């Protein structure tokens, strides 16, 4: 099973989209193994978005992601990274398909409600940045045998 990091960004929290987003991931068959509401400190935000340092939008991104609470989660499942990416939709909501989180709820690329890891390497880095090992709960879902061969 693969793990991935998902964040309901501050705009998604403020717009009361947490339940909808969690529900979509659960209905797909993914399993949440960690979740917390968290106001991301600036130093962690800077490490989280380090790859964008020096880009024109970097300061605004850091200010935005630290501006209010976010819901940080770790999800597990078969090909979890690509499954979550498909559920999220394209970064630019104008290009996101209806039925995706961004296609249904976002109007602007900078306020697109959700973040999900773009690779297994990113997932590992993001999970390690925002969660301790003891926060990741290992358990078996009762419906697991009906979800994956």
Active-site residues, by number, are 115
- Decide: 89 and 31 in contact? Cβ < 8 Å: no
Element (H, E) at 3: strand 2-8
Neighbours of 90 (CB within 10 A): 16
- Decide: 64 and 110 in contact? Cβ < 8 Å: yes
Find the radius of gyration of the CA atoms of the chain: 15
d(CA 114, CA 111): 8
Label residue 82 exposed, middle or buried (CB < 10 Å: 0-12, 13-18, 19+): middle
């Amino acid at each position: 099973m693969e793990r991935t990091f998902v964040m309901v960004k501050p705009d998604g929290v403020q717009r009361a989209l947490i339940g909808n987003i969690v529900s979509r991931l659960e209905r797909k068959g993914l399993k949440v193994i960690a979740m917390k509401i968290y106001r991301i400190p600036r130093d962690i935000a800077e490490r989280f978005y380090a790859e964008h340092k020096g880009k024109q939008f970097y300061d605004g991104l850091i200010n935005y992601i630290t501006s209010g609470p976010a819901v940080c989660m770790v999800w597990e499942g078969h090909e979890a990274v690509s499954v979550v990416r498909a559920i999220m939709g394209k970064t630019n909501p104008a290009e996101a398909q209806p039925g995706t989180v961004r296609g249904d709820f976002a109007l602007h690329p900078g306020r697109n409600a959700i973040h999900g890891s773009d690779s297994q390497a990113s997932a590992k880095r993001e999970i390690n940045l925002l969660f301790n090992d003891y926060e990741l709960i290992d358990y078996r879902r009762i419906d697991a045998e009906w979800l994956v061969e």
